Amino acid sequence: MKKKTAFLFPGQGSQFVGMGLDLYEEYDFVREIFDMTDEITKTHISRLCFKGPMEDLTLTVNLQPAVTAVNLSVLAVLEKEGVRPDWVAGHSLGEYSALKAAGVTTAEGTVKLVFERGRLMHREASKNQGAMHAIIGLEIDTVREIVSQAAKKGVVAVANHNAAKQIVTTGAPEPVEYASELATQQGAKAIPLKVSGAWHSELIRGAEKDFRAFLQQIPFQAPVIPLIFNVTADVESDPDQISDIMARQLCSPVRWYDSMCRLQDEGVEIFAEIGPKRVLTGLLRKIVPDNYDHQTFNVDSMKGLEKFLNAMT
């Protein structure tokens, strides 16, 4: 019997210079995806992906379409090879690639969405200085209590519930720093992240109204493959509700841990990270119990692609 497979799409933080280049050189249709991305953004996103510099690639207005172009390229190769997942999910920015994989949006619509999302997020980050810290070693309820205490000093929230004891905080620098101090007092490790804004916090709330309006310009279809959403850790089939969820996603926590637990409840045995690096497979090692029978794959290059295709045939 065919094993249930989930495609997982990475987001910000997975980028590296050179990503997607071997696929670009191998497939005409991958070149078309990068050409389309360059045309939509009026920027040499392909050049940033392949040659950098990393400083420019990491600017969120460039990074969001860049990572998405790589994700969509890998997805396009797998679709051409006839490999279809049973479930899809994406981490924050990666959720837009999951929309395409599920049949909700077209590749062009997806790139337009992430480019506008990146532009608006950059706009708000330029107005409001932000910070994000990873808190390692505490459960979500404890971190929520800490965040509640730190909120007396300003805007702070949970951004990502990545694993049972790996949680990211977001907000203004002082309350985020204070939350980390409280966390370390309880035995946790706090790691400042290199980000240009307080993603998934009230500090980018100013982007939501404009982004919600932009979402209305992009046609959404009902998913043909079930997609687990960040905001709800659940599925949704109504296109209007999906559009609303994606607007809310900007300032809502990413419930990745709950989403991966849901995929286990659904009996998924093969998890394939579709896009650059190994961030999501790294999180899976922290989430999936040792006694749960499963395989993980990283598909971001010709080598990873070959390994995955061999395993799936």
Residue 14 catalytic?
Answer: no
Q: How far is residue 123's CA from residue 117's CA, in Å, rounded to a whole number?
A: 10
State which amino acid sits at residue 254: V
Name the β-bridge partners of 282. Answer: none
Residue 294 catalytic?
Answer: no
Give 256's Cβ-side CA count (13 Å radius).
31
Specify burial of residue 240 (Cβ count, 10 A radius: 0-12, 13-18, 19+): exposed
* Element counts in the chain: helices (H) and strands (E): 14, 8
Q: How far is residue 159's CA from residue 53's CA, in Å, rounded to a whole number?
A: 28
Which residue is catalytic, options 73, 92, 180, 301?
Answer: 92
Which residue is catalytic, options 200, 201, 252, 259?
Answer: 200
Instruction: Give the helix/strand (H/E) hosting 142.
Output: helix 140-150
- Please give the full DSSP string across 27-66, using - where no structure is assigned: -HHHHHHHHHHHHHHTS-HHHHHHH--HHHHTSHHHHHHH
Helices 140-150 and 173-185 meet at what angle, rounded to 10?
A: 130
Q: How far is residue 44's CA from residue 294's CA, in Å, rounded to a whole number?
A: 39
Q: Write out the catalytic residue numbers.
A: 92, 200
